[in-house]
Amino acid sequence: MPDHSDRSSQGALGALRIADFSRVLAAPLATMVLGDLGADVIKIEQPGMGDDTRTWGPPWWGEGEAATSTYYLGLNRNKRSISLDLRQEQDLQVARQICQSADVVVDNFRTGTMERFGLDREKLAKVHPGVITCSVTGFGSTGAGADLAGYDFLIQAMSGIMHITGEVDGEPSKIGSAMVDQLTGLYAAVGILAAVEERHRTGLGQHVEVSLMQSALAGLLNVGSAHVVADVDPGRHGNRHPSIAPYEPYQAADGPVVVAAASPVLWERLCAALDRQAWKIDPRFANNEARVANVEELAEEVNGVLATNTVKHWVALLQEAGIPAGPINNVRQAFIAAQALGLDPITTLTNQDSEFRSVRSPLKLSATPPAVRRPPPVNDQHGEEIRQELLDD
């Protein structure tokens, strides 16, 4: 039998090399996910500032000129960095060599940039037919939006996400983190892995493309389906759900408790836990459709019960009854809660007598778990090392 004793140290993608020309968030997230799973990710950056997010602070890690933004650190672990000015022929030739040695080439430049440098799949495949290329765009590469720049905030506005986020009578609001970038990066990683799998059968690569706008529309989920299938134009519901009740925060004596009783069984458990069996036969609450239609009356009833005791009391009681319920945590409390639940949400890498802490990958693989092997690099940290590897090849 083959010896698999080193599977964990290599990672699931230990045989892949990624040439990463991306910067900011969506595409760097995709390459970091691949790096966490073992891929050798070579980050190609412009001399000087490099990735835009290196300067996106505060907050910072470190002091003085050596300080790095935590934004950059959250997206670039498990990568090696080389600084190349693609406008200089000598550096461009090094970039071509990296691409020819890579399994996957990722970029999020403006449409046409990789073609202008001769780094697009059509040109690379003449020498390296197995190469997989991936482009992350704002609005696609072929239509009227091909030349438009895309950022998460802009896409949240244009995709309808802001229109459905916020209080019913309030202003449209963006989501608190860059969820469109995150969705796009994850879709890109999935597309890349699909192309790798297909290459196992054919020996040939292909081009993968994913746009922020289409990822955002896909991320509308049931809200997008309501429009496409039923021709509904959904609006804002605040913290309520348009199709499920009870499914919102309710007010205990000292703060809100989120209750997500999203099935008939959970509704019955909630009635029993709150000692309100009469709710089950009340025609206003008899089924989910009725509860959604009478959501204000339902909230008044539930709030009346929860106001008699604390958040801690109700969360413990409802969870004991098997009902999804919890407090509204701040970010610090969220990490503390995750640790208490046994999720171990932070990973620490000791590197040259210093420690680097990072949010742990949510992926769990029994034989080849993701791991942080390298802290995020400084610009050109591995330039000499990578150049030597190319010479050796």
Query: 303: domain CATH number?
Result: 3.30.1540.10
- Look at residue 189 and tell me whether its pLDDT is greater than 80: yes
Other residues' Cβ atoms within 10 Å of the Cβ of residue 320: 10
Q: What is the mean pLDDT of residues 245-249?
A: 98
Residues 33 and 60 in one domain: yes
- 155 with 291, same domain? no
Return the pLDDT at 352: 66
Whether residue 8 has pLDDT greater than 90: no
Neighbours of 41 (CB within 10 A): 30
226 domain-assigned = no
| Residue type for position 177 | S
Here the CATH number for the domain that contains residue 207 is: 3.40.50.10540
> What are the tens digits of pLDDT across the range 10-29?
899 999 999 999 999 999 99
> pLDDT-based confidence at 392, cuts 50/70/90?
confident
Tell me the average pLDDT of the chain.
94
Q: Are residues 179 and 318 in the same domain?
A: no
Are residues 173 and 308 located together in one domain of the fold?
no
- My answer on whether 210 and 284 are in the same domain is no
Q: Is residue 356 part of a domain?
A: yes
Look at residue 97 and tell me if it is in a domain. Answer: yes
- Answer with the one of 329, 362, 382 that is the final residue of a domain: 329
Query: Residue 241: inside a domain, yes or no?
Result: no
Is-contact 359 345, C-beta < 8 A?
yes
> CA dist 159 to 23, 111, 153, 185, Å?
22, 20, 10, 17
Q: Is the pLDDT confidence value at 270 over 50?
A: yes
What pTM did the predictor assign? 0.93
Where among 329, 359, 381 does a domain terminate?
Answer: 329
- Note whether 134 and 38 are same-domain residues: yes
Q: What is the SS3 string spanning 264-320?
A: HHHHHHHHHHCCCHHHHCCCCCCCHHHHHHCHHHHHHHHHHHHCCCCHHHHHHHHHH
pLDDT at 353: 67
* pLDDT single digits (tens) 315-342: 999 999 999 999 999 999 999 999 999 9
Share of the chain above pLDDT 70, in %: 97
Q: Are residues 43 and 161 in the same domain?
A: yes
Residue 181 among the catalytic residues: yes
Mean per-residue pLDDT for 270-297?
97
* Calpha distance 120→132 (Å, rounded): 10
Whether 235 is in a domain gets the answer no
Does 215 share its domain with 271?
A: no
When pLDDT is averaged across residues 141-149 and rounded to a whole number, the result is 92
Mean pLDDT in residue range 197-206: 97
> How high is the pLDDT of residue 62?
85
338 assigned to some structural domain: no
pLDDT recorded at residue 379: 94
Domain boundary among 275, 299, 329: 329
Integer Cα distance of 209 and 121 in angstroms: 12
Same domain, 210 and 322: no
Number of separate domains in the chain: 2
Do 321 and 361 lie in one domain? The reply is no
pLDDT at 49: 84
CA dist., res. 40 & res. 17, Å (int): 5
Q: For residue 3, what pLDDT band results from cuts at 50, 70 and 90?
A: very low
Q: What is the domain extent for residue 33?
A: 7-220+347-392
The catalytically annotated residue of 107, 181, 231, 282 is 181
| Residues 195 and 253 reside in one and the same domain | no
For strand 255-260 and strand 247-252, is the pairing parallel, antiparallel, or unpaired? antiparallel
Mean pLDDT in residue range 50-73:
90
Helix runs in the chain, H state only = 7-10, 26-36, 70-73, 89-101, 113-116, 121-124, 152-158, 179-202, 212-219, 222-230, 264-273, 288-293, 295-306, 311-320, 331-340, 383-392
Tokens matching residue 211: 């746009």
In this prediction, residue 7 carries a pLDDT of 67
**Mean pLDDT, to the nearest integer, of 116-122?**
96
The pLDDT tens digits for 232-241 are 999 999 999 9
Is 340 part of any domain?
no
**pLDDT at res. 1:** 36
252 in the same domain as 141: no
> What is the DSSP secondary structure assignment for residue 350, as one 8-state letter?
E
pLDDT band for 4, please (50, 70, 90 cuts).
Answer: very low
With a pLDDT cut of 90, the percent of the chain lying above it is 92
pLDDT over 80 at 354, yes or no: no
- Inside any domain, residue 230: no
